[in-house]
Amino acid sequence: MTTKIINFNIKGDTRGSLIACEQDHNIPFDIKRVYYIFDTKENVVRGKHAHKKLEQILICVSGSCEIKTEESGQTKTYLLDSPTQGLYIGGLVWREMFNFSKNAVLLVLASDYYDETDYIRDHQNFLELN
Ligand code: T46
């Protein structure tokens, strides 16, 4: 299985909450890139691709969104609505992100730099490799 929810430890005190993401501690890969997705319009579906090698953790640090994953003929839908949870996606997994709330900010930690050659954007091609 190459998708799983990671629950982060909260460093909370009377002032509020803080979560630290640390490579090799609560993040199971070296973090080479961080990006975030925000201001996604209503009814938009993002993603619609798989990666050959990239590992990522998706954290909805504000608002909510849903992630549909597909691998080995199985689909799962995850609701990300808390900054205390991350969705790990590794390997050959088709992913679609949808139902973004107005204030949604999806933070992504990635194991490698941006590389278009690592993307599989054709679903039929993905099914043949999966
Ligand atoms: C993924 C999901 C969760 C860059 O120039 N650098 C980057 O690091 C990224 C991620 C994208 N871009 C460019 C490429 C496109 O021109 O930004 C534009 C939007 O990227 P894309 O259409 O791939 O975005 P999403 O939201 O469909 O997918 C992204 C990631 O690309 C992908 O790896 O797994 O978020």
In this prediction, residue 1 carries a pLDDT of 63
Residues of the chain with pLDDT under 70: 1
* Cα–ligand 1 centroid distance for 94 (angstroms): 14
* Contact by Cβ (8 Å): 104, 40: yes
Q: Tell me the per-residue pLDDT of 51-66, one tens digit each, with 9 for 90 and over.
A: 999 999 999 999 999 9
* Contact by Cβ (8 Å): 80, 40: no
**In testing the pocket of ligand 1, which one of 113, 114, 118, 120 has its CB within 8 Å of the most ligand atoms?**
114
Residue 113 CA: nearest ligand 1 atom is: 8
* Contact by Cβ (8 Å): 110, 55: yes
Residue 46 CA: nearest ligand 1 atom is: 27
Tell me which H or E stretch contains 110: strand 105-110
**In testing the pocket of ligand 1, which one of 87, 89, 108, 109 has its CB within 8 Å of the most ligand atoms?**
108
Structure tokens at 5: 């929810």
Assign residue 23 a region (left: φ > 0; alpha: ψ between -120 and 50; beta: otherwise).
beta
Question: Model pTM?
Answer: 0.97
Residues with CB under 6 A from ligand 1: 33, 35, 37, 46-47, 56, 58, 95, 97, 108, 114
Say how far residue 121 (Cα) sits from the centre of its chain: 17
49 belongs to the catalytic site: yes
